[in-house]
Chain A
Amino acid sequence: MESVLKVILSSGVGRAGLALFALLTGISVYVLVSYPLDYGSRVWYNPAVWADNPAVKPPIWAKPGAVPHSVFLQEEPTEVRKASTGERRLYRFEIPHPYEKPPDSLSLTLTEAVYYSRPPLLTVSLTRPDGRSVRLYRYSPPAPRPGEEAPYVRHRDSPHRVDLGADPQVRAQVSAFLRDEYGLRLSANELRGRLMEILFGEPTSPEERGGPAAFRPLPGTYALEVEVTVFDRRDRIGALQAVRGGETFGWMGTDSLGRDLAQGLLFGFPVSLIIGILTSVLATLLGASLGIMSGYLGGRVDLLIQRSADVINNIPGLPLLIFLVFIFGSNLFLVIIPVIVFFSWPGLAIIVRSMVLQLREGQLVEAERSLGATRWRIMFRHILPQVGPYLLAQLIFFAPSAILSEATLSFLGLGDTSLPTWGQILEGAFRTGAVYRGYWWWVVPPGLLIVITAVAFMLIALSLEPIANPRLRRS
């Protein structure tokens, strides 16, 4: 074990591979600690989670000047004022907007309102960098139905969402705002589709204007304020979420369902490492034990194992892999990994057998035998340690092909959907035609991560060449 580590560290390739591997492991540990284990079904494949996200937006670093899509969530009020009956609770969203462009949209979502007497009243207003404030929208959850008992629960399963850039109420309010503040008379109809431009800008001066009303962007910090007037102190508001729609999203962009690709890519790290390591450990164990048995026991066992190894070695892997996973389902741990292991062990068993054939005639084994050691003891206590370093090298050789096999299966749509992988992200991209539309952020990173992970293992494997290739060692 120690000697193997020394061999890896003695070469540049080995050090690079090990460093890469350490990095991948670090990220995986972070993900395992911070993500829920049922992330796949609960988050990634759950459309409700991504409802507020924009579809196919590039990452923020790809378009530096563009408005990023941002989500602001508040579960507790920023300020509470007592009133004669009940309370006024203020939710304040600070929206930094240093861009020379209005956002694509602005929306507000109310999740869960519980009240005891009268429905609470929500008043939404926007305070701009120039100090002007616009009242945008008022809302009360539905009143109690006849026969319903307090507390009255609203919007728990279907949150109330308002698109502040298109709501007729907002249009009327903005029309009034323009009239009062700038003396501009624009009907609510003329404002259709221009609300964001007006709210996040100011009218150009009359000299510049010339023609119809035009607006220039007003960069600065905006504040979206939601005042909730409750008529009973026990009333509760679950959460308020403001979303500014933009052209870019997060560190890795989004896919066509609005999923945050950064999250999916991160979750792929531990999954692919687990696939690589688990498969190679199992394949090595199987190949080594069968190889040792085949070499040491000889006779009919040897014949059986070697014939099976020959046959499996001669089966084209992928078609059979597709067939078996298709029939038995795509559970990662119960089907995909065992099937990959089943197709991986023969090569190792054949080589280990030939090594054991030499060792069997050695003096150590002869001495053991004369002392009365059982066959199993000799095989696994004396022969195994001697082929050990070679097995360790082989272990690492298995990992990249296992990772690639799983990725290919996922790409064919046979992946285990309870555990999102890079292959599955690519499958989604290919199926929806992301390639032909040039959504590079959806197509390039997952594939690159597959390659990097496989290369990390291969660099380590390359540095173990002197151990893995006994012929080289002798010379």
Chain B
Amino acid sequence: MAILRKLLLRALSLIAVVLIVLVLVVVVLGATGFSDRILSSVISEEMRAVRQQLAETIRDPQELERALREQRRELEAFYGLDKPWYVRLPQDVLRVLTLDLGEARTVATAQGSKRIQDIIAERLPRTALLFTTALVIYFLIGVWLGTLLATRPGSKLDRVLSYFAAVSFALPSWWTGILLILIFYFYLGGLLPAGGMYSTPPPEGGLARFLDLAYHAILPIFTLVLVATGPLMYVARTITLNVAQEDHVTFARAKGIPEGLVRRRHILRVAAPPIVTGLILGLVGSIAGSITTEIVFRWPGMGQLYFQAVSGQPDESLIVALTFVYTMLYALARFILEILYLILDPRVRY
């Protein structure tokens, strides 16, 4: 029961974070007048349809104009544009929460829908695919290498990888991606694709399609793993090293417990929860990395959408939606890691 209470508490605090971000976004939008602009563009969109409809039944132009004005006033009242933004606040929060933000300017789904909800629904799985795969890979590699290094501190491998960890912390993932494109696409004569998710045209058949996807995902995943493994490995190494020097480990060895068992039960088991904490702390960086990596590799997920939304003719509604969805994604990933932490750490279960 205690564990459920803890989880509930964490869930509540993460929901609070999401709500606070939401309110922050809405207040900023309202206070700077962005919200008014989004709403009036939504209304103009609807008015166009209304005009067509009314034009078929009302022939007199003056009559038509009057009817249209009336219609617009009604819509403005419906969306709350006739009230100041702070009165509209709860309504706006609800709209962002359901991603009911109208239509995107230029981006559309494969089916041609410009509704932001549809666009996000199409892109979210692609982002999740890249992000989750990379997360699992660098978690496994980082922990494995880190604990391996902790068994032989000061060795040549240990020193080399420690420097790698320091450099990889300073490595922007987007620049790493650019370098990898330069090497694997330009200098190695197109060994790996420079971007995209499928070849054009995409191959037929389920397996061929999957292999094509995997082929395109190699470089972006490699980029994410490369920049994230170093810091995690370093954290895992330091923590394992600290645990290995504690008295209970010496005692276990003195009891004559085999070395392998000591490592598994007395070192790794104790080191596991703080390593997960390290992973949690690195999560913000991973999210940022996944956004820029998608941009560099033109991976058609939400990160790339961000780039499209801020460049050229900026798309405010998309930016709001993406900011919110990323906050949700972060909260969700964090919650899953918190569960992992609770499972690993027996102390919090009291």
Contact = CB atoms under 8 A, between A and B. Distances in A.
Contacts of B32: 327-328
Interface in B263-312: 283-284, 287-288, 291-292, 295-296, 306-307, 310-311
B327 A316 contact: yes
Given A436-B194, A450-B175, A315 B288 contact: no
Contact of A413 (B17, B172, B310, B329): B310
A320 B182 contact: no
Given A322-B323, A408-B292, A451 B171 contact: yes
Interface string A313-347: 01111111011101110000000000000000000
Given A319-B326, A455-B166, A327 B28 contact: yes
B181 interface: yes
B34 interface: yes
Contacts of B8: none
A468 B334 CA distance: 26
B198 interface: no
Interface stretch (B39-47, B254-262, B314-322): B314-322
A319 B166 contact: no
B322 A451 contact: no
A contacts with B: majority SS: helix
A323 B25 contact: yes
A436 B14 CA distance: 41
A72 to B, nearest CB: 34
Given A311-B20, A323-B320, A436 B186 contact: yes
Contact of A443 (B182, B307, B323): B182
Interface string B122-163: 000000000000000000000000000000000000000000
A328 B301 CA distance: 26
B342 interface: no
Contacts of A437: 186
Given A319-B327, A320-B323, A451 B166 contact: no
Contacts of B21: 315, 320
Contacts of B331: 314
Nearest to A400: B170
A152 interface: no
B167 interface: yes
B222 interface: no
A85 B185 CA distance: 67
B288 A316 contact: yes
A323 B166 contact: no
Given A316-B287, A447-B172, A458-B166, A327 B34 contact: yes
Interface string A377-413: 0000000000000000000000010001001100111
A462 interface: yes
B contacts with A: majority SS: helix
Contacts, number: 130
Interface centre among A328, A435, A440, A459 (most CB of B within 10 A): A435
B341 interface: no
Interface string A284-300: 00000000000000000
Contacts of B28: 323-324, 327
Contacts of A314: 13-14, 17, 330-331, 334
B254 to A, nearest CB: 21
Interface residues of B, number: 50
Contacts of B13: 310, 314
B350 interface: no
Contacts of A318: 284, 287-288, 291-292, 326
A430 interface: yes
Contact of A447 (B34, B179, B185, B187): B179
A322 B178 contact: no
Given A310-B13, A311-B16, A318-B291, A435 B181 contact: yes
Nearest to A404: B172
B182 A435 contact: yes
A318 B174 CA distance: 13
Contacts of A438: 182, 186-187
B75 interface: no
A400 B310 contact: no
Interface string B23-59: 0010011001010000000000000000000000000
Nearest to A426: B175
B79 interface: no
A315 B287 contact: no
Interface centre among A322, A429, A436, A455 (most CB of B within 10 A): A322
A322 B306 contact: yes
A411 B292 contact: yes
B170 to A, nearest CB: 4
A458 B230 CA distance: 14
A450 B172 contact: yes
A19 interface: no
Interface centre among A316, A326, A412 (most CB of B within 10 A): A316
Contacts of A174: none
A316 B330 contact: yes
A310 B175 CA distance: 31
A324 B169 CA distance: 25
A310 B20 CA distance: 12
Contacts of B295: 412
A158 B180 CA distance: 44
Interface in B203-248: none
Nearest to B25: A323
A450 B167 CA distance: 11
Contacts of A404: 170, 172
A327 B17 CA distance: 21
A150 B194 CA distance: 62
Contacts of B296: 430
A411 B311 CA distance: 11
A412 B310 contact: yes
Contacts of B182: 435, 438, 440, 443-444
A414 interface: yes
Given A322-B310, A450-B175, A435 B186 contact: yes
30 contacts: A311-B17, A314-B334, A315-B21, A316-B283, A316-B284, A319-B326, A322-B323, A324-B28, A326-B319, A327-B28, A411-B174, A412-B306, A413-B310, A413-B311, A414-B310, A426-B174, A426-B178, A430-B178, A431-B311, A435-B181, A435-B182, A435-B186, A444-B179, A450-B175, A451-B170, A451-B171, A454-B169, A454-B170, A458-B166, A459-B166
Interface of A: 310-311, 314-320, 322-324, 326-328, 400, 404, 407-408, 411-414, 426, 429-431, 435-438, 440, 443-444, 447, 450-451, 454-455, 458-459, 462
Given A319-B326, A435-B181, A435-B185, 17 more contacts: A311-B17, A314-B14, A315-B327, A318-B291, A319-B323, A323-B319, A324-B28, A408-B172, A411-B174, A413-B311, A431-B311, A435-B194, A436-B181, A447-B178, A451-B170, A455-B170, A459-B166
Q: Which 6 A-B pairs have the closest CB atoms?
A: A454-B170, A318-B288, A447-B175, A319-B326, A316-B330, A438-B186
